[in-house]
Structure 1
Amino acid sequence: MKIEQYIVDAFAERIFEGNPAVICVLERWLPDELMQKIASENNLSETAFLVPTEDTYGLRWFTPNGEIDLCGHATMAATYVVTTYLDTGKTDIAFSTRSGRLTAISKGGIFYIELPAFCLTPVPPPASIVKAIGVEPVETFMGRDMLCVLPSAEDVKAVSPDLNEIASYDGLLFHITAKGEECDCVSRTFAPKCGVPEDAVCGSGHCHIVPYWSGKLRKAELTARQASPRGGTLHCRYANDKVILGGRCVLFSEAVIRL
């Protein structure tokens, strides 16, 4: 068996920027165990699997440690692969996923994906939060993930996290954010439970971050910057409990898996 595989940098203007995702194009679903082995072998934050159907593409996302329900940057990378290699000329894409039907469009070299927003519940910060990130949050929320709002953008950039401590917290991922200086907000994402110390640019994380800052800044449209070592810029819109994320994609490599 041969499987076409693409590595795409999402939310990137050039290679080695943004967040890399592996997109594997299948004729039909493989056994879950085999897809997990492929994801673990690739050892990037996400390996996504695409299966063409009549009017949509089936899409599933795997971290090195397991399958997850939603991933933004791999959905954007999948949109790039569909419009560039599988169905050239197509500008509107629908994906069938564990988070329901997701839609994406390609417009002028920018890819836009629409994702469900997570409801945020205020919670007390964990007792060990200062040990974990070195600073006391201004506010803490729980959605699918934990979101900590820090006093400043410099605080976000300076964090050197205790990943073992973070792995003990509730939620799947752990996000820190603050008001931006040259953009609306900055953030970083840590995912030790998924085998990913720091996610370079996290789309699903912005399904927490964008609703928060949209309400705080009273703006529907935001420019967000993920302040990871690779970095990435997201053009965001929040409306009707949906988060629309826009960004560019760059192909890093294409290969064939032989099974």
Structure 2
Amino acid sequence: GHATLASAFVVFRCLEPGRRIVIFSSKSGPLKVEQQDDQLRMEFPTLEPQSCAPPAELLAGLRRQPREVLRAEKYLAVYDSEDEVRSLRPDFELLKRLDCMGVIVTAPGKEVDFVSRFFAPRVGIPEDPVTGSAHCTLVPYWSKRLGKSQLHALQVSPRGGELFCEQLGDKVIIAGHAVKYLEGTIYL
């Protein structure tokens, strides 16, 4: 996700400024990035979460009881408030024992539709700053709960990130802003 957006940003801003769509070839198939105004938009498949019985390691690892637990490719733990999500201090050793890549935690947002965090210690990422793949599960969940297809989200990791999402049939559209961080020359 991050590398794809960064590459598209370079194409749109530096290599081909008039271009509005770029399609990259990847192991998982074509990845389409579209520039719309000042945002970059990517299309992903929906990963609809289903209710499940939470494993003991999940509950102990989160150290705070969620209101609801679901699962798609990742566990989804739903809390009542943004403050609960922000204050979580998980036990990463316990979360490593889970039988999936990671855990999404979410709650309604104070100034956005929902907030989230994503923990994946099993694959060496205690907390991911911004996780597009998590939103493939979050967007269908919140779209149904809130009764709307366009959602404004905030991933409240220490670095954080703002996402503009849309449920479009069996697809999730995720949009956001990209900025140039560094420009330079490397001599080989």
In the superposition, the TM-score normalised over structure 2's length comes to 0.91
Give 1:121 deviation, angstroms: 2.4
Distance apart, 1:258 and its partner CA: 7.8
| Deviation of 1:169 (Å) | 1.0
| Kept after mapping to 2: 8 A contact 1:125/1:137 | no
Contact 1:145–1:170 (CA under 8 A) maintained in structure 2: no
SS at match of 2:182: strand
Compared with structure 1, are the counterparts of its residues 170 and 151 closer, same or farther at alpha carbon in structure 2 (3 Å cutoff)? farther
1:1-259 to structure 2, matched below 5 A, reads 72-254=1-183
SS in 1 for 2:4: helix
1: CA distance, partners of 2:57 / 2:48: 24
Q: Does 86-95 or 215-224 show the bigger shift?
A: 86-95
User: 1:168-202: per-residue Cα shift (whole Å, max 9, x none)?
Assistant: 11221211001111110000011112221111111
Equivalent pair of 1:226/1:233 in contact (CA under 8 Å): yes
Structure with a larger share of its residues in helix = 2
Check conservation: 1:235, 1:246, Cα contact below 8 A.
yes
- The change in CA–CA distance for 1:124 and 1:80 in structure 2 (over 3 A counts) is same
More strand by share: 1
Q: Is the 8 A contact 2:57 2:97 kept in 1?
A: no
Distance 1:211 1:256, change over 3 A: farther
Greater relative contact order (Cα < 8 A, sep 6+): 1
Q: CA deviation at 1:152?
A: 1.5
Aligned length: 188
Unaligned runs of 5+ in 2: none
Alpha-carbon RMSD: 1.8
Report SS of the residue matched to 2:42. Answer: strand
1:56-77 per-position Cα deviation (integer Å, ceiling 9, x unaligned): xxxxxxxxxxxxxxxx333322
Q: Which letter does structure 1 place at the counterpart of 2:47?
A: F
Structure 1, unaligned stretches of length 5 or more? 1-71
Residue 144 (structure 1) shift: 1.8
Identity of aligned residues (%): 39
Any conservation in 1 of the 2:63–2:91 contact (CA below 8 Å)?
no
Deviation at 1:254, TM superposition (A): 4.3
Paired residues of 1:177 and 1:187 also in contact (CA < 8 A): yes
Aligned CA distance change for structure 1 residues 215 and 175 (closer, same or farther; 3 Å) = same
